[in-house]
Structure 1
Amino acid sequence: MNKSHEYERVFNHFDENGDGKISPAKLQQCVKAVGGELSLVEAEEVVQALDTDGDGLLGLEDFIRFMEEVGEEEKLNDLKEAFKLYEMDGCGCITPKSLKRMLSRLGESRTLEECKLMIALFDLDGDGDLNFHEFRVMMS
C-alpha cells in the first residue's frame, strides 16, 4: 500500500461524518495515528494555511499533500543527520579522510584512495569532497 492510500485510509477514519473534511483537532489525531506529532495550535495553523474555501476544515487532497510534505521534511532531516556523521572535520563536507574514518567505524575497511574514488562518483563540482547537495544526490 502506498503512502497516499494509507493517508486516505487514516483521513477517512477520522472523517466521521463522511463530508471529506476534518477539523484541526482531527488533523492532530491523524498525524498522531501515522506516528507523527502536531500540537493543536500547529494543526490550526496548517488548516488555516491550506483551507482553500475558508470553512476552517481540511479536505482530503490538502491533507495528503501536507502529509507528503511532512514526510519529505523528515527524510531531509534524516539525511542531514547522516551527513553530520560522515562530516567530521567541521568543513561542511565529507572528505576522503572523514569517509574512511566513518566506514572504518561501520566495519568497512577502505583505503584513502578507494574513498577518493567513491567520492569522485558524486563530486559534482570536482573539489574532491562531498557537500550536502552532492551527498543528497548520492543518497537518492
Structure 2
Amino acid sequence: MDKHQQYERAFNHFDANGDGKISALELQQCVNVVGSLGRGGELSLADAEVAVVLIDSDGDGLLCFEDFVKLVEFGVGEEEKADDLKKTFRLYEMEGSGCITPNSLKRMLSRLGEIRTIEDCSVMINHFDLNGDGVLNFDEFKVMMSC
C-alpha cells in the first residue's frame, strides 16, 4: 500500500459520516480513540477546531482529503517552528498566565518600538479571539501568526 492509499484509508476512517469531509468533532473523536490505544495524545474539541481553521483550504469549516494530507504532513519537520512559536508566545503573554492580554500586547509592542493604545490592542486581540474571552491563548496566537 503506497502513501496516498494509506492517507485515503485514514481519511475514510476519520470521516465517520462518509460525507467526504472531516469535521472538528470527527477529527477529535478519531484522535482520541487512537490516543486511548496508547498511540498518541488527547485532542480537545477546541484544539480540533483550531486545527480545522488552520488547514481548511476552502473555508467551509471542514477538511477535504487534500486538507487532511496537509494536516498529517504538518508535523514533519515542524517541531523547530513550533518551539519558536512557543518562545514568541511567552514573550507576549503575561508572566505565567498562559494568555496574551491587551496590556501584555501593548507592553511588548512598546518594546518593539510600536506605540499602541489598550483599545488598539483589544481590537487586535478580538480579531483572533476564537473563544471570545478577550485574551489570546496559544492556539489563537498560532492562528494569528499563520495569517
TM-score, scaled relative to structure 2: 0.48
TM-score, scaled relative to structure 1: 0.50
- Structure whose CA Rg is larger: 1
